[in-house]
């Protein structure tokens, strides 16, 4: 059981490291090329999907059984951390509410798909 928990936390940490790296890269491109808000929003969504897919895929490969559930769990945890960071950063409920359901769906679906395809 301890192995599963440590692996789960490792994959969650890896997904956030990849997210941070990609968000820094996105920030550089926004600074350099003056991308519009629409492009930035789409890029952030792609980053969420890629990182959750990667975490689900890695978890599925490592855990071996019930791969889609491990991917789904990682997507849920990733979204939970995003939500906690949003609340702690002082965002208003209206700001958090915008895109809440879509972000939740994307995190869950991409994590689960990564697990299924592993």
DSSP string for 79-117: HHHHHHHHHHTT--HHHHHTTHHHHHHHHHHHHHHHHHH
pLDDT score recorded for residue 9: 93
Tell me: the pLDDT tens digits for 20-60?
Answer: 999 999 999 999 999 999 999 999 999 999 999 999 999 99
Whole-prediction pTM value?
Answer: 0.90
Query: Average pLDDT in the 61-69 region?
Result: 89
Q: What share of the chain is helix, strand, coil (3-state, %, to 5)?
A: 90, 0, 10
User: Any residues with CB less than 8 A from the CB of 35 and at least 6 apart, and which?
Assistant: 29, 43
- Residue 16's pLDDT band, with cuts at 50, 70 and 90, is very high
Indicate if the pLDDT at residue 111 is higher than 80. Answer: yes
Higher-confidence position of 117 and 98: 117
* Terminal-to-terminal C-alpha distance of the chain: 21
């Amino acid at each position: 059981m301890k192995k599963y928990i440590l692996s789960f936390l490792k994959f969650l940490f890896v997904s956030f490291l990849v997210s941070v790296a990609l968000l820094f890269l996105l920030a550089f491109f926004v600074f350099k090329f003056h991308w519009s808000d629409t492009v930035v929003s789409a890029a952030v969504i792609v980053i969420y999907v890629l990182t959750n897919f990667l975490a689900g895929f890695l978890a599925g490969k490592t855990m071996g059984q019930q791969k889609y559930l491990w991917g789904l769990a990682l997507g849920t945890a990733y979204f939970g951390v995003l939500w906690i960071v949003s609340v702690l950063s002082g965002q208003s409920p209206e700001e958090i509410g915008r895109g809440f359901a879509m972000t939740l769906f994307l995190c869950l679906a991409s994590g689960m798909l990564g697990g299924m395809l592993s």
